[in-house]
Amino acid sequence: MLNCVIIDDEPLAREVLAGYMDQLDHVKLVGSFSNAFDAQGFLTDNTVDALFLDIEMPEMSGIDLLKSLPNPPITVFTTAFRDYAFEGYELGVIDFLLKPVSYARFLVSLEKIKDFLSLKADDAGIEMSGDEPEFIFVKSGVQKIRLLFDDVTHIQGLKDYAIIHTATDKIVTKGSVKSMQELFPESQFIRVHKSFMVSRDKIRRIEKNRIIIGDHQIPIGRNYKEELERKISGS
């Protein structure tokens, strides 16, 4: 059972998400709030799996609420404004739902949440394969998976975990993007954002402040843009 909370100052937006959740046996709505202050107390005293959070609300925004929580749940931003997407990565937001939210798009967010919780439960860890490795061993449960650096497309930080993406799979391991940066070869991987590393060879194109790798759009942080341009140009 996935325990969820909705926070949105728009009654219709709350009703839509609550209606979607009511159609699913494995999802339970445990709290619905019209303002961040009431929700703050509930989230401080209760543990929930996922938070569907509006951003622009009076008195306290969704961003301010998220920053105030010492251990926030997995969060999906629900917003009418596209401009907040990249800022959410700084806060470990797993997805962004643009209003009005369709049922199909809501299900995509749920799958992302379930995937992350499932992969996190595998208790993954990383072991190096030598002094100058071409691969690492990723521990998942009782198994050890041989992961070639050449297969990795990008790495995303999410709360206290890193999600290692390949073209066909993803692995969640305990640790930050900074710790992954120390393990993955600098000649092959570039830190492009506080929450992202990318494989240089997997970059399909660069558009203003984002990188396209496959179907993924990866933000470029202002503090990393100059270094990215230097490494891409080879200077």
Question: pLDDT digits over 203-227, tens only?
Answer: 999 988 899 999 898 999 989 999 8
CA atoms within 13 A on the CB side of 34: 4
Is 123 a residue whose pLDDT tops 70? no
The pLDDT assigned to 34 comes to 97
Angle at 11 between CA 51 and CA 43, to 5 degrees: 30
Is 235 a residue whose pLDDT tops 60? no
pTM above 0.75? Answer: no
* Token duo for residue 70: 């010492």
The pLDDT assigned to 38 comes to 94
2-120 shares its CATH topology with 122-233:
no
Please list the residues that pair with 170 across neighbouring strands: 165
Provide the percentage of residues in the chain whose pLDDT is more than 70: 91
Is 64 a residue whose pLDDT tops 60? yes
The pLDDT assigned to 139 comes to 73
pLDDT (mean) for 175-200: 91
User: Shortest CA distance to 218 belongs to which of 186, 190, 178, 176?
Assistant: 190
Describe the strand order of the beta sheet including 143-148 as a list of residue ranges.
125-128, 135-140, 143-148
CB 164 within 8 A of CB 173: yes
Give me the residue spans of the domains in the chain: 2-120, 122-233
* Token duo for residue 224: 């990393």
The pLDDT assigned to 47 comes to 92
User: Shortest CA distance to 94 belongs to which of 112, 120, 111?
Assistant: 112
The pLDDT assigned to 122 comes to 62
The pLDDT assigned to 49 comes to 95
The pLDDT assigned to 171 comes to 85
Distance CA 128, CA 55 (A): 41
The pLDDT assigned to 60 comes to 94
- Neighbouring C-beta atoms of residue 81, cutoff 10 Å: 12
Distance CA 92, CA 86 (A): 10
pLDDT (mean) for 43-63: 94
The pLDDT assigned to 115 comes to 84
Q: What is the pLDDT of residues 128-178, one digit of tens each?
A: 666 667 888 877 666 778 889 999 999 999 878 888 999 998 888 888 898
Write down the residue that tokens 């997407």 correspond to. 85
Topology at the third CATH level for domain 122-233? OB fold (Dihydrolipoamide Acetyltransferase, E2P) (2.40.50)
Average pLDDT of every residue of the chain: 88
**121 vs 55, residue with greater confidence:** 55
Length of the chain: 235
Q: Which CATH class is domain 2-120?
A: alpha beta
pLDDT (mean) for 176-186: 89
pLDDT (mean) for 178-190: 91
Please list the residues that pair with 197 across neighbouring strands: 155, 191
pLDDT (mean) for 175-194: 90
Helices 103-121 and 11-22: crossing angle in degrees, nearest 10, is: 60
Provide the percentage of residues in the chain whose pLDDT is more than 90: 58
Provide CB contacts within 8 A for 226, sequence distance 6+: none
Distance CA 167, CA 157 (A): 18
196 CB burial (10 A radius; 0-12, 13-18, 19+): buried
